[in-house]
Structure 1
Amino acid sequence: MIMIPQSTSFRFSSNSFAFSPAVTSRSLAAPFNRSPSSAALSFIRFPNYRSALPPPRSSVSKSKSVRVQAMAAEDGKDPRLARISSAIRVIPDFPKPGILFQDITTLLLDTKAFKDTIDLFVERYKDKEISVVAGIEARGFIFGPPIALAIGAKFVPMRKPNKLPGKVISEEYSLEYGTDIMEMHVGAVEAGERALIIDDLIATGGTLGAALRLLERVGVHVVECACVIELPGLKGRERLGDKPLFVLVNGDA
């Protein structure tokens, strides 16, 4: 789920978004009464909370300029991206006033949009001889298992501290305020295996970077990291070093 304070403001066009001080957040808080298949939005995330932007078809004038760049299949023209975006709704003032909450449960209710999401990743990785799909808590747990099953790989959960019951290997990483830890079961992977790391979004790159270091410490070759959306303005890609990153949606923050 992705949230953003109402103090942030945006400008809109028919199919994209960008930050701007010209429009106040009050124009973003209109209720969303559409069905899951018709509410369109694109979303972003910041270090300590998740952030949501309203859909392109909001009441804000379409003459306003906001940009969302779809990057699936390398050229950004795959029509499945619009269906995925339209299946997600935004709930204002949840879990507290001033927050716009992105509810991905509506994507999961839309079997076509959810299948499109998985298919886009499967099409990319089915022939790359990947034996491990490592999913980052928590949304990586949604996308990772069906991708792993489709490409014939095992799924390995990368979890926060004290969530895995067996012996673990840990990696600390930095947040905007303090640090956190990523853990994986000892013996879940073997040296020489080829892995894909999957998460919903890359912002500052802290969690993806920790998962990458954790796998490489035990001799696993990480083929690629993959996310539904990237926020290039937060430069998370830089924390992955020379490791390739694939994203479906490029939000130009």
Structure 2
Amino acid sequence: RLVPTQHVKAFSHHQKNDANDALAICETACRPGIHFVPVKTVEQQDIKALRSARQLMVEQRTALANQIRAFLAEEGVIVPAGIQKLQQYLPEILEEESHELSSVLRRLLHTLGEDLRNLNIRIHEMDNEIAALSRQQSGYHYLLTIPGVGPLIAAAFVSEVSAPQFANGRQLSAWCGLVPRQHSSGGKNRLSSLSKNGNRHLRTLIIHGARAVMRCVQNRDDCLGEGLRKLIARCGFMKATIALANKLTRIIWRVLRDEVDFNMEKAFTIN
């Protein structure tokens, strides 16, 4: 069994040595309510490795695009927001003679633009490889039937989550940090903002998926759209988005456990 390291640290007393570490591990393993870390398969580890490498490339692409924008802004050339806009306008800017750019800066921007295009190609190839490996995992195709869940989110969940790991959907949602933070005492329950515990990357992805659904909520004529519009009117757009992310996480757990397609009528019921 694999014991979570953050729980072992709490029982590590005095100086650090092998004997004290072994004692802390033993005390942690015997504690009630400890959720042991499930052993991942080779395929899950491969998908997670590809996802980590892809995230690094995305961060490098963002940093490179910001660097190009900074160089152009110093010369008074402002490019609209978005990496696609930057790739569209950069060749035109370098070809136009009206912009007072030195030959050194033009060569530098041309080189950085080539690096940006190469990163886009590598990210696209990484996406295809992640999708190819994820299709071999059970539950991947079922997750794609859920609104707001695309190939990247489905690949992240099949590589990080095992349905038997959690007793219910709320445990998975709490593990993603999508439940309210609790500070209760004396029988009084106090709930505040999101706990943001657990897997930060999964939480980020599922919130982006919920935002994608919320963008078209006014055009949906099904029970999901009707329920979200009522929720927005009651608590606001942002809170409704987080509530939808929480709901989608619970649906993901049920779909992974039962290995069935998403059912709109069972997931969203309007009273």
Shorter chain as denominator, the TM-score bin is under 0.3
Which structure dedicates a bigger proportion of its chain to helix? 2
Which structure dedicates a bigger proportion of its chain to strand? 1
Tell which structure's C-alpha radius of gyration is larger.
2
Q: Calculate the TM-score normalised by the size of structure 1.
A: 0.27
Q: Calculate the TM-score normalised by the size of structure 2.
A: 0.26
